[in-house]
Amino acid sequence: MSVSRVDLILGLQDIFRDVFLDGSLVISEETSPLEIEEWDSLAHITLVTTVEKAFDMRMSADDIGDINSVQMLIDVIIKNSNS
């Protein structure tokens, strides 16, 4: 059963709201550190580990480094969930 990207965005939005302390944050595939000021390298690590836990998956060190948008985050989730 595959989950649609739209469903994934909704799940990620909750996580983003938690990590960035903004209950009204709305994200889309284009959302990147350019749009969210607090998305610095430290918050990035917190974000990816929270996503890993929430989606019960594990990213590689390269994945962690490469992710710089919600779109790439979703790609990584889908890629790693298939294995």
The yes or no reply on residue 49 touching another protein (CB under 8 A) is yes
Min. distance of Cβ 44 from another protein in angstroms?
Answer: 8
Query: Out of 46, 68, 79, 81, which residue is the one contacting another protein (CB under 8 A)?
Result: 46
Buried b (16+ CB within 10 A) or exposed e, 21-57: eeeebebebebbeeebeebeeeebeebbeebbeebeb
- The residue ranges that bind another protein (CB under 8 A) are 18-19, 21, 41-42, 45-46, 49-50, 53-54, 59-61, 64-65
